[in-house]
Amino acid sequence: MRHAIALLLCCLALLAASARGAAPAILLAEVYRPGTDPAAYLVSEKLDGVRAIWDGHTLVSRSGQILAAPPWFLAGLPATPLDGELWAGRGRFEWLAAAVSRLTPVDAEWREIRYMIFELPGAPGSFRERAARMRALAAETATPWLQAVAQTGVASEAALRARLAEVVRGGGEGLMLHLAQAPYLDGRSPALLKLKPWLDAEARVVAHLPGKGRHAGRMGALLVEAPDGRRFRIGTGFTDAQRASPPAPGSLVTYRYHALTRHGLPRTPSFLRVRDEP
């Protein structure tokens, strides 16, 4: 009975959040630290997609904005609340973000999109038990675009690093580790960890700085502001098209870096993508 009440309250909270456009309460990852025992976690590929939360009636982004999926896409989803990623395959984030941002969805585009689920909001039991339920739910629903993200165990940190290398070689972004015995949680928690060959973060574009040399006449770098108010430049990672038409001031961008300077700023940050959620 307690589990049923908790699930009902979770559904009502998701419905209320989507109705007012509020960001839903979801689980957010911390960064994997060397020395963490991966044997306590289930490991999956970190999908480079658009986070999407289904309350049984409406599909919303992590920011709470309703995603205009085609009616047939939504009709194929169960009444059970779901959390996952809209995904179109490795290396296709920009195409995907454009497709799911359209106010009028294009059927041909959505036929290429899958809803890859990795959590059941408000559901009882451990994550290992919920992962089994997600696999069963996807099989029962028998909808081609609804799939459960594969969750597997690894025995050691060496095995984890080997798995990471394999995913990155194939064009993947990294790994996620979810504590196998964790109950359903929301907010940022060490129950969920992300592991990449680099670090990444987000910053807000403040201005475009003019280029020099071969970049004369177009953007040379972005002046950005981190959430703590500190400003720095991002000058690499752009295509020629992005330099000619750079992200507008106010845009949220994701950049990658390998370490921080002694002043706490990212060392040699490189542009990855515009990260404003649809």
Q: Measured between alpha carbons, how far is 1 from 223 in angstroms, rounded to an integer? A: 54
For 123-141, the pLDDT digits (tens) are 999 999 999 999 999 999 9
- pLDDT of 213: 86
Structurally, the chain folds into a number of domains equal to 2
| Residue 7 pLDDT grade (very low, low, confident, very high; cuts 50, 70, 90) | very low
Q: For residue 173, give both structure tokens.
A: 């972004």
- pLDDT of 276: 60
| Residue 200 pLDDT grade (very low, low, confident, very high; cuts 50, 70, 90) | confident
Q: Are both 184 and 266 inside the same structural domain? A: no
Q: Among residues 267, 120, 261, 263, which one has the least CA distance to residue 182?
A: 120
- pLDDT of 1: 47
Q: 32 lies in which domain range?
A: 2-18+26-195
Full-model pTM: 0.73
Given 168, 195, 222, the domain boundary residue is 195
For 96-116, the pLDDT digits (tens) are 999 999 999 999 999 999 999
Q: Are both 180 and 138 inside the same structural domain? A: yes
Place of tokens 């040379």: 220
Q: Are both 127 and 260 inside the same structural domain? A: no
**pLDDT for residue 198 is more than 90:** no
Given 195, 223, 250, the domain boundary residue is 195
**pLDDT for residue 2 is more than 70:** no
Given 195, 215, 233, the domain boundary residue is 195
- Give the CATH number of the domain where residue 250 resides: 2.40.50.140
Q: Are both 207 and 184 inside the same structural domain? A: no
Q: Are both 113 and 249 inside the same structural domain? A: no
110 against 214, higher pLDDT: 110
